[in-house]
Amino acid sequence: MCGSIEKSQEVFDGLSTRNVVSWTILIGGYIDHGRYEESFGLLEKMHQEGISPNVLTHIRMLKACGCLGSIERGNDIHSAVVRYGLERELLVGNALIDMYARCGELAKAQKVLEMLATPDIVSWNTLIAGYAQCNKYNEAFNAFQKMQGEGLSPDKITYSSILKVCGNSKSIEKGEQILHSFNTHPRNRLLAHMEP
């Protein structure tokens, strides 16, 4: 959405028919502009018009909950996600993990990850970063090891988060081991040779 959100609202108000796509675009615009409270008002109006949210609507609203740190609203959106049968969708699951992590509810974030059929690197990175932000260093290390045990290779975001944990927890030995792992990973050696 370019320009002012007010102009977008004006265009939206002028639509003869409004569907889930137009509502979600408008709601997303408000969220992108940091106007989280107003996005919840729009979601309510959308419901009043008899339009059900789609996957993207729920993902956007979970972002708003996380940015506000509103666990009550986040739980409400999670309940709606379950009602619509979307809780095992990877993108929705990742949005739930992010929302719970931002709200400091790491046990719930972990539970969501465990419910996903195939968590991806984004799922794990979000959880590890959440543990790091809440100074739960042992949990962050455990998640890092479990991710690797599941056969997923850490990426640069994973290494950035886990090395920050090593620094904050003064775990120099673990930090050295992780740096060694990063430097000897075939993909990272290849990238190093490709860099000018």
Same domain, 105 and 125: no
Count of the separate structural domains present in the chain: 2
Residue 103: band (very low, low, confident or very high) from pLDDT cuts 50, 70, 90: very high
Q: Looking at the domain assignment, is residue 115 inside a domain? A: no
pLDDT digits (tens, 9 = 90+) for 66-98: 999 999 999 999 999 999 999 889 999 999 999
Report the Cα 51 to chain-centroid distance in Å: 25
Residue 32: band (very low, low, confident or very high) from pLDDT cuts 50, 70, 90: very high
Q: Looking at the domain assignment, is residue 51 inside a domain? A: yes
pTM of the model: 0.86
Taking residue 25's Cβ as centre, other Cβ atoms within 10 Å add up to: 15
Distance CA 78, CA 75 (A): 5
Q: Where are the alpha helices (DSSP H) in the chain?
A: 5-13, 20-32, 36-48, 55-68, 71-83, 90-102, 106-115, 121-133, 137-149, 156-168, 172-184, 186-194
Which residue segment(s) compose the domain that 139 sits in?
120-196
Decide which of 69, 86, 110 is a domain's last residue.
Answer: 110
Q: What is the CATH number of the domain that holds 26?
A: 1.25.40
Same domain, 106 and 127: no
